[in-house]
Amino acid sequence: MIVATAGHIDHGKTALVKALTGIDADRLPEEKARGITVDLGFAYTRLGAHAVGFVDVPGHERLVRTMVAGATGVGFALLVVAADDGIMPQTREHLAILDLLGLSRGAVALTKSDRVDAARLAEVEGQIRDALAGTTLAGAPVLPCSALGGVGIPALARHLEEAAATPPDSAGAGDFRLAVDRCFTVPGAGLVVTGAVHSGTVRVGDHLLLSPGGVEVRVRGLRAENEAAEGAGAGQRCALNLTGARLNRAGIHRGDWILAPRLHAPTSRLDVALRLLSGEERLRHRTPVHLHLGAASATGRVLLPPGATLVPGGEARVRIALDASLGALHGDRFVLRDISASRTLGGGRVIDTASPTRGGWTPARRAVVEALDTPDHGAALAGLLSLGEDGADLDHFARSRNLPPTAMQALGDTLGLVAVATPRGRLGFPRARIDALGDAILALLDRVHGAEPDNPGLSAEEIGERLPAGGRPALRAALAPLLARGALAQRGPLHHLPGHEVRLAPPEAALYEAVRAVLEAAGLDQPRLADLAARVERDPEALRPSLDKFGRLGWLRRVSGHYYVLPAVLAELTERARRVAAAHPEGLLTVGRFREATGIGRNMTMPVLTYFDAEGLTTRVADGRLMRGGDPAAGP
Q: Minimum mean pLDDT among 60-64, 210-214, 420-424: which range?
A: 60-64
Q: Which of 313-317, 366-370, 465-469 has the lowest mean pLDDT?
A: 465-469
Domain range enclosing 250: 177-263
Does residue 33 have a pLDDT over 80?
A: no
Residue 198 dihedral angles phi and psi, to the nearest 5°: -85, -30
* Same domain as 621, residue 524: yes
Residues 184 and 134 in one domain: no
- 424 lies in some domain: no
The answer to whether residue 314 sits within a structural domain is yes
**Domain count of the fold of the chain:** 5
Question: What are the C-alpha distances in Å from 273 to residues 302, 311, 350, 352, 423?
Answer: 11, 14, 6, 10, 32
Number of helices and strands in the chain (H, E): 19, 31
What pLDDT does 75 receive? Answer: 84
pLDDT in tens, 226-280: 889 999 988 888 999 999 988 888 889 989 999 999 999 999 999 999 999 998 8
Please, what is the average pLDDT of the chain? Answer: 88
Q: Is the dihedral of CA 67, 72, 78, 81 positive or negative?
A: positive
Check whether 553 has a pLDDT greater than 70: yes
Residues 350, 287 within the same domain: yes
DSSP notation for 72-112: TT-SEEEEEEETTT-S-HHHHHHHHHHHHTT---EEEEEES
- Which of 470, 496, 522 is the endpoint of a domain? 496
What one-letter code names the amino acid at 64?
V
Q: Report residue 397 CA to chain centroid gap.
A: 6
Taking the C-alpha atoms of residue 402 and residue 330, their distance in angstroms, rounded to an integer, is 8
Q: Which residue, among 32, 103, 27, 24, has the nearest Cα to 68 in the 3D structure?
A: 103
**pLDDT score recorded for residue 629:** 65
Q: How confident is the model at residue 28 (pLDDT cuts 50, 70, 90)?
A: very low
Q: Are strands 425-430 and 201-203 parallel, antiparallel or unpaired?
A: unpaired
- Say yes or no to pLDDT of 54 above 90: no
Residue 41 lies in a domain: yes
**What's the pTM value of the predicted model, to 2 decimals?**
0.77
Cα separation, 262 vs 400, whole angstroms: 10
The count of other CB atoms within 10 Å of the CB of residue 204 is: 15
Q: Which helix (H) or strand (E) holds 594?
A: helix 591-598
Alpha carbon distance 551, 558 (integer Å): 7
In this prediction, residue 315 carries a pLDDT of: 94
Q: What is the CATH number of the domain that holds 200?
A: 2.40.30.10
Q: Do 254 and 284 share a structural domain?
A: no
Q: Is residue 384 part of a domain?
A: no
Mean predicted confidence (pLDDT) in 494-505: 83
In a domain, 622, yes or no: yes
Question: So what's the pLDDT on residue 272?
Answer: 97
Structure confidence at residue 471 as a pLDDT band (50, 70, 90): low
Q: Are 529 and 563 in contact (CB under 8 A)?
A: yes
Q: SS3 for 540? A: helix
Co-location of 292 and 333 in the same domain: yes
Amino acid type, 635: G
Same domain, 329 and 238: no
CA atoms of 334 and 100, how far apart (whole Å): 7
> Which residues partner with 51 through β-bridges?
46
